[in-house]
Amino acid sequence: MKTIDEFTMPYGVVDKIDAFGYLEELKKNPDAPRKHGKILLVTSDTPLKASRGEGKTTATIALIDALRERGIDAAAVLRQPSMGITAAGSKGGASGGGKSSLEHPELADWGLCGEMAAIENAQNLLASFAEKAVDDGLIDTVLVPRVSEVPSRMLRATVVDRGKANVPERTVLTPASELMQIVVLSRSMEEISERVGNMIAGTKDGKAVLFREFVDLWRITNILTDAVKPVKTQTQQGSPVYLHCGPFGNVSLGIPSLVSVEMACSLHDVVVVEAGYGADAGAQKWLDIACREYGAQWPSFAVIVTRATTWRDDPALQWRYPFHVKHLENLDIPTFPLINLWDGEDGEIPELREEAKELGFRTPIIGNLFRDGGEGIADQLDPLIDAIENHPMPSAVHSHKGMSLVENLRWTAEKAYGVPRERVIFKDGFTDSLLSAARLCKSAGFDITELALLAVKSPATMTDDDTAPADERTVTLKKVEPHTGAGVVQVNLTTSLTTPMPKIV
Amino acid sequence: MKTIDEFTMPYGVVDKIDAFGYLEELKKNPDAPRKHGKILLVTSDTPLKASRGEGKTTATIALIDALRERGIDAAAVLRQPSMGITAAGSKGGASGGGKSSLEHPELADWGLCGEMAAIENAQNLLASFAEKAVDDGLIDTVLVPRVSEVPSRMLRATVVDRGKANVPERTVLTPASELMQIVVLSRSMEEISERVGNMIAGTKDGKAVLFREFVDLWRITNILTDAVKPVKTQTQQGSPVYLHCGPFGNVSLGIPSLVSVEMACSLHDVVVVEAGYGADAGAQKWLDIACREYGAQWPSFAVIVTRATTWRDDPALQWRYPFHVKHLENLDIPTFPLINLWDGEDGEIPELREEAKELGFRTPIIGNLFRDGGEGIADQLDPLIDAIENHPMPSAVHSHKGMSLVENLRWTAEKAYGVPRERVIFKDGFTDSLLSAARLCKSAGFDITELALLAVKSPATMTDDDTAPADERTVTLKKVEPHTGAGVVQVNLTTSLTTPMPKIV
């Protein structure tokens, strides 16, 4: 008979790393030996729909397996998949696939070590304290949303204390919560505590009331003790992978925690950072939020993943993939196309290579990553390895702090979505929403132009209608919501539905 | 400088055990060597208020440390503390104290390995599917509650889809959810799946609709994959401790999972099981629900913990402690009083011993467990060790299935609370609530008399007024709520406030 030991395992079959502690130790020992890894940003084409991935995680895993096969010390930093959306049927997991999978993918897909759940509990505790503040007369309107990892359309608008105070509230997805943004962007527990204190709980007579005014912040940070620690696991081929926070680039940041990337950069020569959904979401946020406003390292190179069908099947959308490649190249980031083949598509390779050449791309990396893993692409990596060895470390980039929000939006629409400033349209009510957000910030002691712009949009579109001719595409600005704790201001864009709380299927 | 390894640890610094797998293995190998441990039930006096513990966890830890010091292979099975209530300020942690503490008590107190959070997500996903069923016209009324580990009074009654369908809902504490009850009582993932399928989602034209009718149950069981595995940790002295599920004996079961106890019994000679709040809550539920209806092992002996002040300071409540001791002794369970001293109370020992003698108690175990740990009581354990060595294994007990609910309630009131049947009072509306619950069960294919009675009451009272003279004490029956999945029927008792969703403080 098997003994109890055979049924016993260290929890999670993964390690947890006190990244805050380690980064503090690095800071205290500036002369200690360490690596200064370069960042390879993996992002993707804009997907045809939210539920259809291009294979960013699969490609990230294949890439580090292949780079390590080529003798390079590469590691990956992934975002934690959202279990709730997977369970509800809105999206698959995000732990790779086939030969390009994580070890124990089911663990990554189904809640990891409770990190997302802890963040959910902490944000919901803040909502509970806001409700108590209503009871106590400290606020008259609750602004902080409750959160849920599992979606339901009916949670978008709710009422609590039914039959008595009837307080209106709303619920957003846990990965899209301000607290998740805070955990992704903060570099110490003290910074988290400071930022949570700066979150707006609600208003009293129209003026913002911050959580620091009435909540003991240790209650929140204690819940987060373990959630702030990145997970370390590995691919099925044994390559090192760090997982931590941050999915959903459409409605939130879509990037892993800054500390997990910084820690990885001190331990490995190349750190592959996954940012999604497409380049217009996750990559835009890594560049313009993480790097410009939060001191993250600018990518030294990028890989943009697409599927042959995503890139080419819809003539009206064929402009998007080359747009993304050129956009990153224009930022002086050597950008490698990666085409993730499905079964039966091997025959298309010559045509894909030809088309890439015509478009002036670097030589694309092409493979069936599910079937062949990193092995299938290892011999195509010479140009990437050349860039790794020879491209200089990037320098720091300019912040947009102080730029007006509308100006920042116009800049982003032009650079990231290819829509010039004159075709950025204000929806009815946008100006009011902007003014009222600016007033709310001011009443809390914040200047809205000091907050980083965070675009909230459909993951599957960059403009109001991506199928329109280039000179007719527009971007409509809809609504503004400041997150003074996280230091971002969310702006809903385009006429497409966003999914802060999708239907379940 | 410290290396990254010094900041890295297996997650949770604890082990997780696949108890389902191990128990299955035991069943397949009936002749393999194993232990057949006896159960020592640790429960307590009825606390003066919910936020004031008598020290059950502290006593449990001290007891196993002391028993092991005396050469006995003892282990403890504890319930997972509710992080949410602790964070909200309604109650302290539950990981022992001082010298009688768990290793890494902060881990136990602040979410353990995400078990509670996973159960919360799974039950909330069920609620989301119930909302979808409203959308789809499958049900017209949602009965399954949402759950939250962090409390807020305002969540007791809510509305979802505000401004559109305006669906009334309610939220209960995660530890009090039907899904938590199912995880505590089930012995395999198949049983969990079967029981989740039998949960009532809501009604359509007054008739119950079960989740099995419209939810793919793998969505729920996948979320629970890790949550069903008990945690193994140890006391600061190195004694083995299993932690799994089940706090809040007042509003739910208040006992750890059955599989964690069964697993421990196959590995150790004495298994100390913690059940709370008081003997009238957790112990009553271990005996009358776990043992009578779910095949758990009847305790071979019991320890009832009290504080000198709880037992003696309020003359009107002094009857409760002796009542509990005699009640368990009457059930043929050798019951040892344990008095958990606070600082400055050592001088009271002679008087406490005298009083115990007068009341006909067994010789009490007395110690300052926080200060002295198991060492302080090890030399007082001769009578307990004598019972461990000589008391025969208990035989199975009778089920109450088929007994009418009211009869069962009268029986419980008499045995567990000392109130005779004629003083069990029906509150206005109770009969209607009972009839409608019975009809609801019947429409779902269940007989309400086949469900185990689960009393829901204040943790701090056994009757409508515990300070009334013995011959005037009453128990009022208020409301009935069947949990057909868990196989229990909850009945709210006494006029005291229950706390399915307390205020935060």
Contact by Cβ (8 Å): A231, A220: no
Which chain B residues touch A117 with a CB distance below 8 Å? 111, 114, 117-118, 120-121
In this predicted structure, the answer to whether residue B490 has a pLDDT above a threshold of 90 is yes
Contact by Cβ (8 Å): A90, A504: yes
Burial B27-65 (b: 16+ CB within 10 A, else e): eeeeeeeeeebbbbbbbbbbbbebeebbbbbbbbbbbbb
CA nearest to A200, candidates A439, A472, A473 = A439
Topology (CATH) of B115-224:
Domain 2, N(10)-formyltetrahydrofolate synthetase (3.30.1510)
B154 touches chain A (CB under 8 A): yes
CA distance B90 to chain A (A): 12
CA distance A157 to chain B (A): 5
Domains B115-224 and B405-493 share a fold: no
The one-letter amino acid code at A264 reads A
Which chain A residues touch B26 with a CB distance below 8 Å? 1
Kindly provide the residue ranges of all beta strands, DSSP E only, lying in A14-148, ordered along the sequence: 15-17, 38-44, 74-78, 96-97, 100-101, 141-142, 146-148
| Arithmetic mean of pLDDT over chain A | 93
B147 touches chain A (CB under 8 A): no
Phi and psi for B430 in degrees, rounded to 5? -65, -45
Q: Could you give the CA distance from residue B260 to residue B297 in angstroms, rounded to a whole number? A: 12
CA distance B467 to chain A (A): 32
CA distance B415 to chain A (A): 38
CB contact under 8 A, B157 and A161: yes
Contact by Cβ (8 Å): A179, A123: yes
Contact by Cβ (8 Å): B148, A260: no
Domain B405-493: CATH superfamily is Formyltetrahydrofolate synthetase, domain 3 (3.10.410.10)
In this predicted structure, the answer to whether residue B261 has a pLDDT above a threshold of 90 is yes
CA distance A238 to chain B (A): 17
Which chain B residues touch A24 with a CB distance below 8 Å? none
B273 touches chain A (CB under 8 A): no
CA distance B223 to chain A (A): 6
Mean pLDDT lowest for which of A263-267, A356-360, B200-204, B308-312?
A: B308-312
CB contact under 8 A, B128 and A15: no
B14 touches chain A (CB under 8 A): yes
B:80-139 residues touching chain A, CB 8 A cutoff = 83-84, 87-89, 106-107, 110-111, 113-114, 117-118, 120-122, 124-125, 127-129, 131-132, 134-135
Sheet holding B488-493, edge to edge: B424-426, B475-483, B488-493, B452-456
* Tokens standing for residue A415: 């650079």
pLDDT computed for residue A392 by the predictor: 87
CB contact under 8 A, A17 and B7: yes
Cα A302–A293–A226 angle (5° rounding)? Answer: 85
B504 touches chain A (CB under 8 A): yes
From the list B8, B125, B504, the residue facing A15 with the nearest CB is: B8
Domain A130-209: CATH superfamily is Domain 2, N(10)-formyltetrahydrofolate synthetase (3.30.1510.10)
A:464-493 residues touching chain B, CB 8 A cutoff = none
In B, minimum Cα distance to A167 occurs at B154
Cα B271 from chain centre: 16
Side-chain-side CA neighbours of A204 within 13 Å: the count stands at 15
Contact by Cβ (8 Å): B128, A171: no
CB contact under 8 A, A157 and B163: yes
pLDDT computed for residue B495 by the predictor: 67
Q: Could you give the CA distance from residue A81 to residue A64 in angstroms, rounded to a whole number? A: 19
3-class DSSP state of B283: helix
Query: Under the phi-then-psi rule, with left for phi > 0, alpha for psi from -120 to 50, and beta for the rest, what region is B248?
Result: left
pLDDT computed for residue B11 by the predictor: 61
A154 touches chain B (CB under 8 A): yes
Instruction: Give the pLDDT mean for A323-330.
Output: 97
* Tokens standing for residue A194: 């400071």
CB contact under 8 A, B222 and A87: yes
Q: Residue A4 — very low, low, confident or very high, per pLDDT cuts 50/70/90?
A: low
Helix (H) or strand (E) holding B302: strand B301-306
Q: Could you give the CA distance from residue A275 to residue A67 in angstroms, rounded to a whole number? A: 19
CB contact under 8 A, B4 and A21: no
CA distance A470 to chain B (A): 38
A121, A198, A467 from A209: Cα distances, Å: 21, 9, 44
pLDDT computed for residue B91 by the predictor: 67
Q: Could you give the CA distance from residue B109 to residue B100 in angstroms, rounded to a whole number? A: 15
Which chain B residues touch A88 with a CB distance below 8 Å? 125, 128, 219
DSSP state of B300: S
Which chain A residues touch B32 with a CB distance below 8 Å? 1
Which chain A residues touch B159 with a CB distance below 8 Å? 158-159, 162
Q: Could you give the CA distance from residue A416 to residue A462 in angstroms, rounded to a whole number? A: 8
Q: Could you give the CA distance from residue B213 to residue B197 in angstroms, rounded to a whole number? A: 8
The one-letter amino acid code at A63 reads L
Instruction: Give the pLDDT mean for A368-373.
Output: 96
In B, minimum Cα distance to A220 occurs at B87
DSSP-assigned beta bridge partners for residue B367: B340
Per CATH, the number for A10-114+227-390 is 3.40.50.300
In A, minimum Cα distance to B123 occurs at A150
Mean pLDDT lowest for which of A297-301, B248-252, B287-291?
A: B248-252
Q: Could you give the CA distance from residue A338 to residue A346 in angstroms, rounded to a whole number? A: 14
In this predicted structure, the answer to whether residue B77 has a pLDDT above a threshold of 90 is yes
Which chain B residues touch A121 with a CB distance below 8 Å? 83-84, 87, 111, 117, 120, 149-150
- pLDDT tens-place string over residues A386-410: 999 998 888 888 999 999 999 999 9
In this predicted structure, the answer to whether residue B64 has a pLDDT above a threshold of 80 is yes
pLDDT computed for residue A447 by the predictor: 98
How large is the ipTM? 0.93
CB contact under 8 A, B4 and A263: yes
CA distance A147 to chain B (A): 11
B:219-238 residues touching chain A, CB 8 A cutoff = 219-220, 222-223, 225-226, 231-232
pLDDT computed for residue B109 by the predictor: 87
CB atoms within 10 A of CB A316: 11
pLDDT computed for residue B98 by the predictor: 92
Instruction: For chain B, give every domain's residue range.
Output: 14-114+227-390, 115-224, 405-493
CATH number among 3.40.50.300, 3.30.70.100, 3.30.700.30, 3.10.20.90, domain B14-114+227-390: 3.40.50.300
3-class DSSP state of A255: coil
3-class DSSP state of A320: helix
In this predicted structure, the answer to whether residue B8 has a pLDDT above a threshold of 70 is no
Q: Could you give the CA distance from residue A167 to residue A164 in angstroms, rounded to a whole number? A: 9
- pLDDT tens-place string over residues B421-438: 999 999 999 999 999 999
- CA R_g for chain B: 22
Q: Could you give the CA distance from residue A390 to residue A403 in angstroms, rounded to a whole number? A: 35
CB atoms within 10 A of CB A135: 16
Q: Residue A94 — very low, low, confident or very high, per pLDDT cuts 50/70/90?
A: confident
3-class DSSP state of A315: helix
Which chain A residues touch B232 with a CB distance below 8 Å? 8
In this predicted structure, the answer to whether residue B4 has a pLDDT above a threshold of 70 is no
In A, minimum Cα distance to B152 occurs at A128
Which chain B residues touch A4 with a CB distance below 8 Å? 17, 22, 263, 267
Side-chain-side CA neighbours of A298 within 13 Å: the count stands at 17
From the list A16, A125, A148, the residue facing B11 with the nearest CB is: A16
Number of cross-chain residue pairs from A and B with Cβ atoms under 8 Å apart: 250
Which chain B residues touch A1 with a CB distance below 8 Å? 25-26, 28-29, 32
More confident residue, A108 or A451: A451
pLDDT computed for residue A505 by the predictor: 76
> Which residue out of B14, B80, B162 would a mutagenesis test of the A interface target, given it has the greatest number of A Cβ atoms within 10 Å?
B162
CB atoms within 10 A of CB A429: 10
Side-chain-side CA neighbours of A11 within 13 Å: the count stands at 27
In B, minimum Cα distance to A169 occurs at B162
